[in-house]
């Protein structure tokens, strides 16, 4: 069987030069860490980290029926968008399973950008093409666009060196700014979005792939005085887990629905029809059979995906979907699915996580697991 060749982002050479440990992720060769996951994680919580997330997919939707297409595709309400506003959502199968979770940006009434997970780019684009009866123009620009995430309490202070009026309230959370050509590090096209996957204040910066190295270098140079460090996918994962954010392929997939995953807030039944609406209405009516919960271990141990979750008597009731040792708490934390019963899902309830032959006590905790700076 032929080996699949991993793609490389425009910043690959920069990662190698910085001594990053590289690995395959979502079809790309990506940096896992530069120094250590804990070091990079704490830099983001205390100062700032810079991530290369250019593996993510960017799909533009254009034309007079662009809104109708997006509204049909996603569970959230695209009518809440206006120029310069973004939202988080999922798109579902007719059975209610999650095809992917994504961000939707509205540039204008006939231009939307959908940002999807790296491993799902081809699948998602094919899904969109197959569910486009309104004939919106779909354009996969993933290979041409780079994405950098500047995250942490010092992120806006660093970015102000290049755009003086940037602040955590300008643009506001889940808002973005399309920069005039040449006004941000001489980029022909750049979007500064107040979004992120860490629970900290920060910006996600979109630019042309051939301009990514210049942006990366400039941010790292200026950010050095503010404690900025390059951060890899390892820290990105531990940060999102402390914040309690879902990861596709772990908490979400086509066998899970957004209501059991705690994402009912992105399902707007009152907006009209969308793919999966009827199935999700049935789930809402009957109540989800299971629920995604957070757990904090009460003894030393590291929960990992696939480990059994047990009741107090040691009977297996579910599985961990994501787990790690929280760098902030220095305790094991996990997300996982259990039956939708109050004695399993209420915060403070005692459960267990089986790590090899030992069952460690854990308590149910509603995420986030740590105090976040992003309000």
φ, ψ at 123 (rounded to 5°): -60, -45
Strands 7-8 and 28-33: parallel
> What is the residue-wise DSSP string for 33-80?
ESS-HHHHHHHHHHSEEEEE-TTSEEEEEESTTHHHHHHHHBSS-GGG
Residue 340 · residue 293 · CB < 8 Å: no
Q: What is the DSSP letter of 143?
A: G
- CA angle 195/201/206 to nearest 5° reads 40
Strands 21-25 and 28-33: antiparallel
Residue 52 · residue 31 · CB < 8 Å: yes
Residues making up the annotated binding site are: 204
Q: Is the dihedral of CA 149, 151, 156, 162 positive or negative?
A: negative
Chain centroid to Cα 326, Å, comes to: 18
Residue 294 · residue 321 · CB < 8 Å: no
Residue 56 · residue 100 · CB < 8 Å: no
Residues making up the annotated binding site for substrate are: 204
């Amino acid at each position: 069987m032929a080996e699949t060749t991993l793609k490389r982002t425009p910043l690959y050479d920069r990662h190698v030069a910085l001594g990053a440990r590289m690995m395959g992720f979502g079809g790309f060769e990506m940096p896992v860490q530069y120094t250590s996951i804990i070091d990079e994680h704490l830099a983001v919580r205390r100062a700032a980290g810079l991530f290369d997330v250019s593996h993510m997919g960017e799909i533009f939707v254009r034309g007079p029926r662009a809104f109708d297409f997006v509204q049909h595709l996603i569970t959230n309400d695209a009518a809440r968008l206006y120029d310069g506003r973004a939202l988080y959502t999922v798109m579902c199968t007719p059975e209610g399973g999650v095809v992917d979770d994504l961000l939707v940006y509205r540039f204008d009434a006939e231009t939307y950008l959908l940002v999807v997970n790296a491993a799902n780019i081809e699948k998602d684009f094919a899904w969109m093409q197959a569910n486009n009866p309104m004939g919106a123009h779909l354009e996969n620009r993933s290979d041409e666009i780079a994405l950098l995430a500047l995250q942490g309490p010092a992120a806006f202070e660093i970015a102000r060196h290049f755009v003086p009026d940037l602040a955590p309230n300008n643009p506001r959370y889940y808002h973005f700014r399309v920069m005039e050509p040449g006004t941000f590090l001489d980029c022909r096209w750049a979007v500064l979005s107040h979004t992120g996957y860490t629970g900290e204040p920060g910006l996600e910066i979109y630019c042309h792939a051939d301009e990514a190295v210049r942006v990366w270098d400039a941010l790292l140079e200026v950010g050095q005085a503010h404690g900025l460090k390059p951060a890899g996918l390892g820290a990105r994962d531990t940060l999102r887990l402390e914040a309690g954010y879902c990861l596709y392929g772990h908490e979400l997939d086509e066998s899970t629905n957004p209501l059991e995953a705690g994402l009912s807030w992105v399902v707007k039944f009152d907006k009209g029809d969308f793919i999966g609406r009827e199935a999700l209405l049935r789930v809402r009516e009957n109540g989800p059979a299971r629920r995604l919960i957070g757990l904090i271990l009460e003894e030393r141990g590291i929960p990992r995906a696939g480990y059994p979750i047990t009741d107090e008597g040691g009977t297996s009731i579910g599985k961990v979907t994501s787990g790690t040792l929280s760098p902030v708490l220095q305790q094991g934390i996990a997300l996982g699915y259990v039956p939708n019963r109050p004695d399993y899902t209420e915060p403070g309830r005692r459960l267990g996580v089986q790590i090899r032959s030992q069952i460690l006590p854990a308590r149910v905790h509603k995420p986030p697991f740590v105090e976040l700076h992003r309000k």
